Amino acid sequence: MPRRQESPDAVKVRTLPVQVAAHLTRRIVNGEIDEGRAPSEIEISSEFGVSRVVARETLKILASLDIVDVAQGRRVVVRPRAEWDYLSPLLIEWLPTEIVDELLQELHQMRALLEPELAAMAAAAVTGETLERLRDELDRMAALEADPEAYLEVDHEFHMEICRAADNRILDRIMYSARWLGTASRRLTNEAPAGLRRATAQHTEIYDALVARDPEGARAAMRRHLSNNYSTLVAEQRSKH
């Protein structure tokens, strides 16, 4: 999937338990494993020719992602898909394109609920130091419009800076936990013609409202930005199918 590629310098080294967990997850998603039942430690060891230690670690990974429940003396049970940990970068990497597309749209729904209010909260409490950092990030955005991968990092940091300025630790952790999906979403919307130049202009509108200490203006500017992003996301997804 082009939009989930990392930079050319990135190298992923996956351990054997992670590789087996990825394979099993894809089989569950594709309906190749009986509903409600996952392979046991012994079955994984036998099928994949791996040690019991590797099989045990595989199940621990799946359990950590809420894909299965593992209980001593009981069979391994597949959890309902709605309960899986969709904020995990590992799980996102293993899912088929159509499910990731749905998750990216759901991410935008979450952002549309939270980020306009975070911007309004930040406008009421933002400090001069935060405004200086945001100004620096805007300048970097303008300089990186020909480098989408580098732009991604600055874009994410701009939004997290606003979140931190709102001074709500719970909301901060929610936003931070969604960063992997956020990166995937930004990578896609940045592919649109003039996408980065448009994004810089929209971020500037948000910044101007923060400088003016205008909560309603910041809320509206963030809402426009996210609405434009959503429209671009849907259009880019359709163009790839």
Which pLDDT value is given to residue 13? 59
Tell me what percent of the residues of the chain surpass a pLDDT of 70.
91
Which pLDDT value is given to residue 124? 97
The predicted model gives 214-227 an average pLDDT of 97
DSSP 96-116: -HHHHHHHHHHHHHHHHHHHH
Instruction: Tell me which residue of 72, 75, 65 sits closest to 22, measured CA to CA.
Output: 65
When pLDDT is cut at 50, 70 and 90, the band that residue 216 belongs to is very high
More confident residue, 74 or 28: 28
Which pLDDT value is given to residue 73? 65
Distance CA 76, CA 15 (A): 22
Distance CA 230, CA 233 (A): 5
Instruction: Tell me which residue of 153, 239, 151, 150 sits closest to 197, measured CA to CA.
Output: 151
- What is the dihedral angle through the alpha carbons of 89, 26, 81, 111, rounded to the nearest 10 degrees? 30
Amino acid at 21: A
* pLDDT per residue as tens digits for the range 111-121: 999 999 999 99
Task: Indicate if the pLDDT at residue 1 is higher than 80.
Answer: no
Distance CA 43, CA 68 (A): 15
Q: Locate 231 and state its tokens.
A: 């429209």
The predicted model gives 17-27 an average pLDDT of 96
pTM for this predicted structure? 0.82
Which pLDDT value is given to residue 35? 66
Residue 90 phi/psi, 5° resolution? -65, -50
Task: Kindly give, in sequence order, each residue whose CB lies less than 8 Å from that of residue 177, ignoring residues fewer than 6 positions away.
Answer: 87
Which pLDDT value is given to residue 183? 86
CA distance to 46, 98, 195, 198, per residue, from 192 (Å): 47, 19, 5, 10
Largest CA distance in the chain: 65
Of these ranges, 9-13, 71-75, 88-92, 191-195, the one predicted with the greatest mean pLDDT is: 88-92
Q: Which residue, chain included where needed, has tokens 């960063």?
A: 179
The mean-pLDDT minimum among 32-41, 94-103, 135-144 falls in 32-41
Distance CA 155, CA 202 (A): 11
Task: Indicate if the pLDDT at residue 72 is higher than 80.
Answer: no
